Structure 1
Amino acid sequence: MSFQYQPTLSRRGFCICCAAAVAAGGQWLSPSQAYAEARNIVDLIRDDAAKASIKIHKLRRDVSILEGSGGNIAVLTGADGKVFVDAGITATRPRILEAANSLSAAPIKHLINTHWHFDHADGNEWLHGAGAVITAHENTYKHLMAAQRVEDWDFNFPPSPPAAIPTELFTTEKTLALNNSTLKLKYYGPAHTDGDISVSFAEADILHVADTYWNGFYPFIDYSTGGSIGGMIKATEANLAAVSDATIVIPGHGNPVSNKSELSAYRDMLVAIRDNVARLKQQGRSLEETVAARPTAAFDAKWGQFVITPAIFTHLVYQGV
């Protein structure tokens, strides 16, 4: 099947993961400098989400994607009730419900969090109130339970309310049998954060890889809660090993319907930029000098045209090599 993708959120409000900083004139701005030029990024994102439309992408075997509320949300429908993979941003609740109810009248019974970030778990509380049992990796539970600071966003998140906390936890793998489907949940190890998981819809041959893959954009990496460029590459290698040419791959952000070929190009980009930045850092180049050397130049036309700019991504890679 063929899909054409147009981003549905503004450049400013694409997702919480894009709050790392602002690049201007090719220079890296510190969080304090960035926030001096704009009010709180979380409020900006919530404002955008309150106006965002939700697009529905129907895949196969009762699996669909809801696009437009932070990260790409997968929904599995059937007699056991709706299963959500990620919760999006609360401000989109009326349109999420409208879209989900157009797929099925069944109640919402299950929610799987792929990791703890705001654009994937902000809707936990209302989805739990609607009837969803929340499943997540134990590290996602840890981050939602306590206050979290993300240095690259210069932002402190308070603990989540009790109703937003996952109650079904796992360490490495978990299998759910729902709606005549086998859902296989698998922990990557530290990657985008230290709690990222993939969700495989086995019979449909669909793999939701969440924020280990940003389709068409440079990704954000949250070093404050365990992420790293090396972990992102390792997770992408695991994703490639798990899919075939027929598999539908759902990324956390970007065009929500992807495939092995696009995922392979993403892996190649990550590896090349990691190596370029590492070489410059080993030569003793400072962050500013490394950014000025443009180690991402060969990939910027394809990957660097949205919120995570070449300068921002260079900064993120530099931290981890």
Structure 2
Amino acid sequence: MNNQRRLLISRRRFLASTGTGIAATAFAPHLVFAQKKGIVPTMIEEAAKAEIKVHALRGNISVLEGSGGNIAVLTGKDGKLLIDSGFTVSKQRIAAALKSLSPDPITRLINTHWHTDHTDGNDWVHSAGAEITAHVNTKKHLATATRVEGWQWTFPPAPAGALPTTTFSTERSEHHNGTNIALKYYGPAHTDSDVSVVFEQADVIHVGDTWWNGIYPFIDYSTGGSIDGMIRAAERNVATATDKMIVVPGHGPIGNKAGLVEFHTMLVTIRNNVAKLKKEGRSLQETIAAKPTAAYDAKFGQFLITPSFFTTLVYAGV
């Protein structure tokens, strides 16, 4: 059996196993509601009532937490630059948080990848005056109907105003508010559209959903993600980060290089454990029962993605 055929079968097993009950564990704080309503409506409902918390970093850079993925903000005379836009239902609270940072208008937006919890607010941010930059695959997915099987949801094409106005394939450099900003594509990782954003003078990096700090990550096989791609991205993050660098994850608290190293080790260890069980002929359910994530569950398995669901995600890609 060739690798492509084996992966296709693994993905089918993964999709068959991730019913509403399992998929609901991917993001929703209140799992019972997710099981009844579906993961995407639940994410939006949570964002509609969540407080937007502001965390000051350094170099006029802050992070807004509470609407989907973490939003980084660079203030200054050139206008505010945002990394990701959260959910539209959080608009008023995000706008108030931005106003508390400075009176500067919003002029730029960079998307770390295409997922709705990072791009749903694109349209209103663009309407406020922002030009949008993202990887070419982010624009591709936003411009068309895109299915995420792990969420059991098909996203319709985004409004024209939500689409990136500038795209790139591998790397891009920008200068804003006296800061050099380096954008770099990971290759397929969490999705096929993930990019990192480095604020060079401040030594701050936003790595999007290639890092979930203290949380097992979701991997979107529907749009090019894989466990091996996540590991490659984690390796690059470790190599890129300096000892003093502030690292902004897609989800979870602000961290540093030590956190990136721990995350990478966790991914490699669990991937190897699951691959060994699968090579022995264990079924998905038998692999889950063997608890290949046990050493990490106390820390990484207590919030969004359960150990069984993460095992399912890894099993699909080995």
TM over 0.5: yes
C-alpha displacement at 1:37, in angstroms?
A: 4.0
Q: How many residues align?
A: 295
CA contact (8 A) 1:193 1:225 kept: yes
Q: Which secondary structure state, in structure 2, belongs to the residue aligned with residue 252 of structure 1?
A: coil
Matched residue, 2:46: 48
Runs of 4+ in structure 1 off by over 6 angstroms are none
Contact 1:20 1:312 in 2 (8 A): no
| Contact kept in structure 1, 2:20 and 2:38, CA below 8 Å | no
Among residues 281, 305, 308, which one is paired with 2:305 in the alignment?
A: 308
Q: Which runs of 5+ in 2 are unaligned?
A: 1-17, 24-31
Find the partner of 1:230 among 228, 237, 242. Answer: 228
Indicate how the Cα distance of structure 1 residues 201 and 36 shifts in structure 2: closer, same or farther if over 3 A, else same: closer
Aligned to 1:66: 64
**Which residue identity lines up with residue 307 of structure 2 in the other structure?**
P
Task: Give the equivalent residue in structure 2 for 1:259.
Answer: 256
Which of 157, 160, 175 does residue 158 from structure 2 map onto? 160
1:1-321 map, 5 Å: 21-23=20-22, 37-255=35-253, 257-321=254-318
Matches of 1:267 and 1:42, distance apart in 2: 28
- Partner of 2:81, secondary structure, is strand
Output the CA distance in 2 between the equivalents of 1:118 and 1:37: 19
Deviation, 1:41, is 2.2
Identity of aligned residues (%): 59
Q: Is the 8 A contact 1:54 1:96 kept in 2?
A: yes
Q: Does structure 2 conserve the Cα–Cα contact (< 8 Å) formed by 1:20 and 1:220?
A: no
1:90–1:122 contact (8 Å) kept in structure 2: yes
Letter in 1 for 2:279: Q
State the TM-score, normalizing by the size of structure 2.
0.90
Q: CA deviation at 1:294?
A: 0.4
Measured in 1, the distance between the counterparts of 2:102 and 2:267 equals 39
Quote how far apart the aligned CAs of 1:21 are. Answer: 4.9
Q: Is the 8 A contact 1:22 1:312 kept in 2?
A: no
Deviations 1:267-320 (A, max 9, x none): 000000000000001111111111011000010001000120000000000000
Distance in 1 of aligned mates of 2:310 and 2:116:
20
Q: 1: CA distance between counterparts of 2:292 and 2:20?
A: 19
Q: Shift of residue 22 of structure 1?
A: 3.1
CA 133–265 in structure 1, closer or farther in 2 if over 3 Å, else same:
same
1:66-95 CA deviation, whole Å, 9 max, x = no partner? 000100000000010000000001111001
Q: 1:36 to 1:238 in 2, by over 3 A?
A: closer
Give the unaligned 5+ runs of structure 1. 1-18, 25-33
Letter in 1 for 2:297: D
Shift in Å at residue 189 of structure 1?
A: 0.1
Equivalent residues of 2:20, 2:35 under 8 A apart: no
Alpha-carbon distance in structure 2 between the residues aligned to 1:92 and 1:215: 23
**Residue 173 of structure 2: SS of its match in structure 1?**
strand
- Distance in 2 between residues matched to 1:274 and 1:22, nearest whole Å: 23
